[in-house]
Amino acid sequence: MKTFFIILLIVLTFQNNFSQQIFSPDGKLELNIKLSNQNELLYNLSRDGKSVIKDSKLGIDLVDQPDFLQGFKIDTIITSTYYDKWAPVWGEVDSILNNYNQLQVTLNQPKENRKIIVTFRLFNDGLGFRYEFPVQDNLKYFRIAEENSNFALTGNHKTFWIPGDYDSQEYTYTTSLLSEIDASKGKNFDDIIVKSLPGKDIVQTPLMMKTTDSLYINIHEAALLNYPAMYIKVDRNNFNLSTQLCPDAFGTKAYMQTPCKTPWRTVIVSDKAEDILASKMILNLNEPTKYQDVSWIKPQKFIGIWWGMHVGKDTWNYADINNVKLDEVDWNSLKPNGKHGATTENTKRYIDFAAKHGIDAVLVEGWNIGWEDWFGNWKEEVFDFVTPYPDFDVNELERYAKEKNVKLIMHHETSASATNYERRLDEAFNFMKEHGYNSVKTGYVGKIIPRGEHHDSQWMINHYTRVVEKAAKYHISVDSHESVRLTGLHRTYPNWLAAEAARGNEFNAWSKGNPPEHETILPFTRFMGGPMDYTPGIFQIKMDYYNPGNTHQVHTTLAKQLALYVTIYSPIQMAADLPENYERFPDAFSFIEQVPVDWSDTKILKAEPGDYIVIARKDKNSDNWFIGAITDEESRSFEIPLGFLDKANYEITVYQDAQDADWKNNPMAYNIEKYNVQKNDLLKLKLAPGGGTAVILKPIK
């Protein structure tokens, strides 16, 4: 399809009391902008004539300089239309339509003799807007005290929220009215180790809301570059939302130099929950990749020396010592603790398992020195990323993995010492390349160094980007944990395969865990910005299997763990349980063996945040379709018309909860059925409380 970009209208030198509008390409959404009596910039958004966002102010507060809040005069307005189709390197679909109408307003502040541009893009699925600061005599360097983008909502909407924490998104969601939000509390609130909570009324994005007349509204951001992450301040009486940025060590929000721009602020809106999940607007607002060659970027499934540590069976550390100074320890003379997971022998066992079951890669955590006291000391030099423990033979494992045609995934836990990591990055990536690694899982557990910075402050946003850009030079892909939540930057940096940046499955191993509804909310929140390394596939649901009396458990059935491979989208998916647990259930594991991580098509069949999700996806490399259906704590039945299939006849394999399965009392009971279906059949699914169904459809002649 041809790309086109048409400028429809140029209007010069406006008087005040003007108002200007654009519509989405399908005519459903309408955006209006105007100036208030104080000459502030206001916008409003409606859908099918119904208000979504009432008149709301836009502007920026500066430090030590007059603000960009009022006293505006319209200089120019340019409207245009854009239409393009593009192919992502990997993704949920193989072709993405990027179609919007744009309104770009240049505002003058005659008193200051300064200019600011606000660009609005209206898609069929929502609105994006951003501020731009062109080169000009009276604005060169400036600091942002706060961004004042407002979203005046039409009522007390139902909201799926987590606290606006500068250092963590690892919370479970609370569903409440806007008026009831209290970000100093929440479910499973005490599980979070590092908390930086600015206020009761501050929540994270993506913020998902539902109005009383069933309009779904999602607020987030796109293309977060050289700027802090944004939170939402909720006026709990008037239902006005406003932006609040993550501060740096001095309390400053952002340091800017013209020409520059902010990330896009996004409002995705539909009367169908399914449309929210299908939206590609955030990706479309990101720039195409500048990488010339992307052939080295590979979606992948992996297993890892990982869950053993989370369930307390293995350790990351080699010896039981503390107060470690990296250079001063003679590692060879230390007595091992006998529980070290990352040994050569154990890694070979994982490589063998991966080779046998067609799993692409093996992650090894705890392979490098430093884990003896890695966390909580605010210590700068924790890991050097190039020195293996004495029982991890990096050369032999390189050879062995190559022989078995399995990739090894490097682990770089930084202990949040980002300065240390940056200093050592070239050496660390060179070491990876020398030993055949092409993917890295990074991690930022703890308080950030540079001290006083936050996981979401501008310095760290730039850090994550620097790591991904440098990794690309080495043809390395990144899966970042405890990094900022994603904003569609994987369009620009397709080697940023996934981030964690939310509460993953790991919490089920050692805390109150994730309630059964958690995975039905995540796609409407965290996943709006991009893939998450959620680590599905835990078969041994209850932790008393490892330690009698341990009451922790995964809050799903086993069948739901399979369905997550379809309902959760990521080009890098872990089969997170221990190989020995998969060997106990080979028939269920066959689903994980077969499920792809790259798709040519996706149909969001049924969805309601907090309740259920049913998604069908087509494999990018075959004609096979896969369906994942998940529910919250309620048992549910679905009737799925199979009309979306592209062939007439299929063999279907259904991995489902047993009749008496239940996430709490009988989570591991499942059965598998195989039969033939046709395109016009109705597929009936029955999900247990906390359950799920996973389906494979293979065309037959």
List the catalytic residues: 506
- The stretch near Ca ion (CB under 5 A) out of 334-342, 477-485, 546-554, 617-625 is 477-485
Residue with tokens 């078995």: 404
Whole-angstrom distance, CA of residue 587 vs CA of residue 218:
39
Smallest gap from residue 624 Cβ to Ca ion (A): 32
Nearer to ligand NOJ, 304 or 692 (CB): 304
Estimate to the nearest angstrom the gap between the alpha carbon of 236 and the chain centroid: 27
Whole-angstrom distance, CA of residue 383 vs CA of residue 419:
12
The candidate with the shortest Cα–Cα distance to 448, out of 375, 372, 373, is 375
Smallest gap from residue 413 Cβ to ligand NOJ (A): 4
Helix axes 418-434, 458-473, angle to 10 degrees: 10
Whole-angstrom distance, CA of residue 573 vs CA of residue 632:
22
Nearer to ligand NOJ, 147 or 167 (CB): 167
Nearer to ligand NOJ, 91 or 370 (CB): 370
Nearer to Ca ion, 167 or 500 (CB): 500
Residue 443's binding partner among ligand NOJ, Ca ion, none (Cβ under 5 to 8 angstroms by kind) is ligand NOJ
Whole-angstrom distance, CA of residue 155 vs CA of residue 165:
25
Estimate to the nearest angstrom the gap between the alpha carbon of 270 and the chain centroid: 21
Nearer to Ca ion, 486 or 696 (CB): 486
Smallest gap from residue 121 Cβ to ligand NOJ (A): 34
Smallest gap from residue 15 Cβ to ligand NOJ (A): 56
H or E element, residue 671: strand 670-678
Whole-angstrom distance, CA of residue 619 vs CA of residue 147:
42
Nearer to ligand NOJ, 413 or 632 (CB): 413
Specify whether the CB–CB gap between 535 and 517 falls below 8 A. Answer: no
Nearer to ligand NOJ, 63 or 445 (CB): 445
Smallest gap from residue 114 Cβ to Ca ion (A): 43
Nearer to ligand NOJ, 374 or 638 (CB): 374
- Residue 100 bridge partners (DSSP): 82
* Binding track over 498-527 against Ca ion, x by CB under 5 A: --x---------------------------
Residue with tokens 């600011």: 116
User: Strand, coil or helix: what is 522?
Assistant: helix
Nearer to ligand NOJ, 52 or 499 (CB): 499
Residue 618's binding partner among ligand NOJ, Ca ion, none (Cβ under 5 to 8 angstroms by kind) is none
Smallest gap from residue 415 Cβ to ligand NOJ (A): 8
- The stretch near Ca ion (CB under 5 A) out of 384-392, 430-438, 496-504, 548-556 is 496-504
Q: Which residues of 133-168 are buried (b: 16+ CB within 10 A; e: fewer)?
A: beeeeebeebbbbbbbbbbbbbebbbbbbbbbbbbb
Q: How many residues bind Ca ion (CB under 5 A)?
A: 2
**Would you state the structure tokens that stand for residue 52, as one six-digit string?**
């979504």
Nearer to ligand NOJ, 248 or 533 (CB): 533
Whole-angstrom distance, CA of residue 551 vs CA of residue 562:
23
The candidate with the shortest Cα–Cα distance to 359, out of 438, 439, 296, 303, is 303
C-alpha distances in Å from residue 205, one per residue of 173, 259, 568: 12, 27, 18
Residue 248's binding partner among ligand NOJ, Ca ion, none (Cβ under 5 to 8 angstroms by kind) is none
- The backbone torsions φ and ψ at residue 36, rounded to the nearest 5 degrees and listed phi first, read -80, 180
Specify whether the CB–CB gap between 303 and 353 falls below 8 A. Answer: yes
Smallest gap from residue 690 Cβ to ligand NOJ (A): 23
One DSSP character per residue, 221-275 reads EE---SS--EEEEEETTTTEEEEEEPP-TTS--EEEESSEEPPEEEEEEESSHHH
Smallest gap from residue 542 Cβ to ligand NOJ (A): 21
Smallest gap from residue 196 Cβ to Ca ion (A): 16
Smallest gap from residue 286 Cβ to ligand NOJ (A): 25
Whole-angstrom distance, CA of residue 54 vs CA of residue 32:
10
Smallest gap from residue 411 Cβ to ligand NOJ (A): 7
Residue 413's binding partner among Ca ion, ligand NOJ, none (Cβ under 5 to 8 angstroms by kind) is ligand NOJ
The candidate with the shortest Cα–Cα distance to 477, out of 438, 516, 503, is 438
Residue 530's binding partner among ligand NOJ, Ca ion, none (Cβ under 5 to 8 angstroms by kind) is none
Q: Which residues contact 194 (CB under 8 A, 6 or more apart)?
A: 167, 168, 445, 446, 447
Residue 40's binding partner among Ca ion, ligand NOJ, none (Cβ under 5 to 8 angstroms by kind) is none
Nearer to ligand NOJ, 248 or 413 (CB): 413
- Does 66 sit behind a cis peptide bond, omega within 30 degrees of 0 on the bond before it? no
**Would you state the structure tokens that stand for residue 18, as one six-digit string?**
């003007």
Residue with tokens 């705890």: 366
Please name the amino acid found at residue 650.
Y
- The stretch near Ca ion (CB under 5 A) out of 32-40, 322-330, 367-375, 478-486 is 478-486
**Would you state the structure tokens that stand for residue 53, as one six-digit string?**
């966002």
- Residue 553 bridge partners (DSSP): 542
Smallest gap from residue 421 Cβ to ligand NOJ (A): 13
Residue 221's binding partner among ligand NOJ, Ca ion, none (Cβ under 5 to 8 angstroms by kind) is none
What is the binding site for ligand NOJ (CB under 6 A)?
306, 365, 413, 443, 445, 481, 500, 506
Q: Which residues contact 184 (CB under 8 A, 6 or more apart)?
A: 163, 197, 199, 200
Whole-angstrom distance, CA of residue 182 vs CA of residue 273:
25
**Would you state the structure tokens that stand for residue 382, as one six-digit string?**
């924790």
Q: Terminal CA-to-CA distance of the chain, rounded, Å?
A: 32
Residue 515's binding partner among ligand NOJ, Ca ion, none (Cβ under 5 to 8 angstroms by kind) is none
Whole-angstrom distance, CA of residue 170 vs CA of residue 62:
31
**Would you state the structure tokens that stand for residue 421, as one six-digit string?**
């990591």
Residue 365's binding partner among ligand NOJ, Ca ion, none (Cβ under 5 to 8 angstroms by kind) is ligand NOJ
Nearer to ligand NOJ, 102 or 315 (CB): 315
Interacting residues with Ca ion (CB under 5 A): 481, 500
